Structure 1
Amino acid sequence: MSDVTAHVVILGAGHAGGTAAALLRQYGHEGPITLIGEEPIAPYQRPPLSKAWLKGEADADSLALKPVEFYAENGIDFRPGVRGVSLDRGAKRLALSNGETVGYDVLILATGARPIALPIEGADLQGVLFLRTAEDAEKLKAALGPGKRLAVVGGGYIGLEAAASARALGAEAVVLEREPRLLARVACETLSTFFKTYHEAHGVAFELGAAVTAFRGENGRVTGVILSDGRVIDCDAALVGVGARPNDEIAEDSGLECARGVVVDLSARTSDPSIYAIGDVAHRPMPIYDRMFRMESVPNALEQAKQAACAITGRAPPPGETPWQWSDQYDIKLQIAGYPFDVDEVLVRGDPASGKFAVFHLKGDQVQAVEAINSPPEFMMGRQLIGNRRPVNRSKLADPSVSMKEVAA
């Protein structure tokens, strides 16, 4: 049952929260909408922070999801620079960091995730940076340039994108990864090898199997990263990119069901029927894989914003989507669809040396995931195959001379 006059409060003004506010109005919600954001600026796109923003090709205005006037014009009470501190579900009231409280009929938690900090000596030195917000990106941009050296702790996508941007700005970059290969948690070995070779060709240095034990500093500023074997990697700034954890404390403290994120259903509804959770903070069902999972991607934030807005306005739920994400490094476009759960075969289509290939992860004759480098047809058809669960002919899939249309037919 929807109530078009309900007061909807959205805590978190990132991609998910900002999109949910706009969709509620688009779907005909007439009641008050309050959008509360921790950052001082209106909702914006985050993926370009590690690329276009660092290179000076984008700013807060160009990345804004909507012009700032949009919120007032659409009767959305946007309150920047404020956090939620506690939630009284019985009274349906949210306490804010500025001392105010706000009542709600429906609450959407879009509190996102935060970078994991390393619990080591020197972690609080100036110049030990993260990359999650526009402010973070500004600090990192100021630290890059000719004659500077960036140490990246963590060989994941954010770290690699930042290393590519550092090189584009004339800075040196060295990536320190604890595992024996890059992207160990998120990509297959073929991709790890490809990206390492490509980055090395662009002058990025790597230390693999390198555990960081401390940051070294002078006058309160970082000057180096100390490894477990005692070596010191000199740097002017260090970017820590070792993953993120969901900002689910306010939900957990209020007694909502959480499991490495706020547990929701396919309408993005939590264990409290008046509260939804969307985006990076949500632990959601993945019907394709028959499991629950927490996803950190823009497409997921958009999909869940739609799910919540449809449920609140009484619209039919949106069709389920195959999860996907992307990464841009140099002139490489990596597009990923699905997740490699329960995979028994990894099949490479095309030649990695050509800079254009795709890796398919199969469970029996079903595609579970595809990682496509500069290969849009493989990505698009692969995504379709993951979504419709149609069996695939492996020998056709492995043969690049057979079109993806034919493979998917």
Structure 2
Amino acid sequence: MQTDRVVIVGASHASAQLCVSLRRDGWDGEILLIGDEPSLPYQRPPLSKTFLAGTTTIEDLHIRKPAFYEKEQVTFRQARVTGISREAETVTLDDGDTVGYDKLVLCLGARPRPLDVPGMDLAGVHYLRNAADIGAIRDSLRTAERAVIIGAGYIGLEAAASLRKLGVEVSVVEVAERVLQRVTAPEVSAFYDRVHREEGVDLRLGVGVEALEGDDRVSGVRLARGELLAADLVIVGVGVLPNVELAQDAGLTVENGIVVDDHGRTEDPNIFAAGDCANHFDARYDCRVRLECVSNATEHAKSVAGAICGKERPISAIPWFWSDQYDLKLQIAGLSTGYDDVVLRGDPASGRAFACFYFADGRLIAADCV
């Protein structure tokens, strides 16, 4: 194989796997990994759990140790990419430098969806997406006694469980009528509702947030119905937005993510995308999907590496996810969107181990297992 350069933008699960797969598939050219955080690619799921609790370090979370990148001759450069020139096949960095590429892979991830209410600029108000966010939350925890978490999805509930383990009083505010409403059946929601209440979490469902109050530091969360919840720490987890601006500015098609084929290619044959930022067609579910999970990032990266190295293998794996809360592990296989029936094995109303199978038109499409 001729000696070329693959430039990977974003230090993530997808980019770490891409480095592995490129070498395994025979790429003997240069690999340049550009990330805007100081760390090598690290695991994100533990951030809201063991990393928040202080039982793991960023080095513990490295997906691959520094020795791997040295051995496989992967160059890591901390920088932010500010632009792509498709004509010149270069990327521009925030220090003004330009870097040429033969193949460019965008592993840009996603960022927290902003909550547009007054008071978001107060001290003690945090999002939870990267190690720096957790560092700021840890600083707030030194004096915090009462936390309000806005959002009862996986991130919000995992953070609630971690904070309860640390002895912090926690309220969770969710505009939907039940926890995990977007991703699980009512039976699974009811189970986690019960678990969190038993652990002392104050769940406020079916109500939005009007404002965050305080002088310089947050002191309370004003709910839409007028109630004020005392808080000296607020964590916002109301979903994410894919980082697509680089691709969009370069003229690539963007629609709920960077649009790619089932090999991770954009319409530019030399530019690929993988992970949370990429939107591909899933033949199994007969729709385009943008998935936010480690398994998807890993499979995307393998497909992209294969396409670059002439060993094409389309994205085909069943997506799977997990969530750790207290002593419970929820494992999810498939996508439950559009289900019309569920079958339970075990009793979520009384036990702590069960499975929920999702069907659409009589066909099994997903399963939740606790």
Alignment of 1:31-42 (within 5 A): 31-42=29-40
**Residue 162 of structure 1 pairs with residue 159 of structure 2:** yes
C-alpha distance after superposition, 1:276-325 (max 9, x if no partner): 00000000111111111100000000000100011111124167211110
Counterparts of 1:87-236 in structure 2, within 5 Å, are 87-144=84-141, 148-218=145-215, 220-236=216-232
CA distance in 1, matches of 2:189, 2:141: 25
Distance 1:30 1:263 in 2: 28
**2-structure distance, mates of 1:366, 1:92:** 46
1:131-169 per-position Cα deviation (integer Å, ceiling 9, x unaligned): 110111122233336861111000100000000000111
| 1:401 match | none
- In the alignment, is residue 252 of structure 1 matched against residue 248 of structure 2? yes
Q: Name the amino acid aligned to 1:164.
A: A
Q: Please state how far the C-alpha of 1:217 moved relative to its aligned partner.
A: 1.7
| One-letter identity of the residue aligned with 2:33 | L
Given residue 7 of structure 1, which amino acid in structure 2 is its aligned partner? R
Range 179-188 or range 324-333, more displaced = 179-188
Alignment correspondent of 2:259 = 263
Q: 1:89 to 1:147 in 2, by over 3 A?
A: closer
TM-score by length of 2: 0.97
Structure 1 CA distance for aligned equivalents of residues 113 and 323 of structure 2: 20
* DSSP-derived class of the 2:221 partner: strand
State percent identity of aligned pairs. 44
Instruction: Classify 1:12/1:266 alpha carbon distance in 2 versus 1 (closer, same or farther; 3 Å).
Output: same
Query: Is the Cα–Cα contact under 8 Å of residues 146 and 171 in structure 1 kept in the other structure?
Result: no
Partner of 2:343 in structure 1? 347
For 2:250 and 2:217, how far apart are their aligned partners in 1? 39
Q: Is the 8 A contact 1:176 1:207 kept in 2?
A: yes
Tell me: CA distance 1:4–1:13, structure 2 relative to 1, closer, same or farther (3 Å): farther
Instruction: Measure the CA separation in 2 of the matches of 1:187 and 1:146.
Output: 35
After superposition, residues 38-57 of structure 1 pair within 5 angstroms as: 38-57=36-55
Tell me the residue number matched to 1:64.
62
Q: CA deviation at 1:4?
A: 4.7
Q: Is the 8 A contact 1:144 1:166 kept in 2?
A: no
CA-based RMSD: 1.4
SS in 1 for 2:60: helix
Alpha-carbon spacing, 1:152–1:250, altered in 2? closer, same or farther (3 Å): same
- 1-structure distance, mates of 2:329, 2:139: 26
Number of the residue aligned with 2:237: 241
Greater mean alpha carbon deviation, residues 153-162 or residues 225-234: 225-234
SS at match of 1:170: coil
1:52-77 deviations in Å (ceiling 9; x for gaps) = 11112211111101112332332211
The runs of 5 or more residues in structure 2 that have no matched partner are none
CA contact (8 A) 2:7 2:104 kept: yes
2:17 maps to 19
1:74 equivalent in alignment to 2:72:
yes
Secondary structure class of the residue paired with 1:86: strand
Output the amino acid matched with 2:237.
Answer: G
Q: Deviations over 1:237-286 (max 9, x none)?
A: 10000000000011011111110100011111111110100000000111
Q: Specify the code of the residue in structure 2 equivalent to 1:108.
A: V
CA contact (8 A) 2:299 2:315 kept: no
Contact 1:148–1:236, Cα closer than 8 Å, also in 2: yes
Number of residue equivalences: 369
Give yes or no for contact 1:10–1:109 (8 Å, CA) kept in 2.
yes
Counterpart CA distance in 1 for 2:143 and 2:305 is 47
Output the amino acid matched with 2:189. S
Greater relative CO (CA pairs within 8 A, separation 6+): 2
Query: Residue 322 of structure 2 aligns to a residue in which SS?
Result: strand
Confirm or deny: 8 A CA contact 1:110 1:279 kept in the other structure: yes
| CA positional deviation for 1:364 | 2.6
Q: Which amino acid aligns with 1:27?
A: D
Q: Deviations over 1:340-392 (max 9, x none)?
A: 2332212222111111111111123310111111xxxxxxxxxxxxxxxxxxx
The SS at the match of 2:23 is helix
Kept after mapping to 1: 8 A contact 2:263/2:315:
no
Stretches of structure 1 lacking an aligned partner (at least 5 in a row) = 374-409
Residue 6 of structure 1 is matched in structure 2 by 4
- Cα deviation 1:94-116 (Å, max 9, x = unaligned): 11112111110100000000001
TM-score (norm 1): 0.88
Please tell me whether the aligned partners of residues 147 and 172 of structure 1 are also in contact (alpha carbons under 8 angstroms): no
> Bigger CA drift: 309-318 or 254-263?
309-318
SS in 2 for 1:61: coil
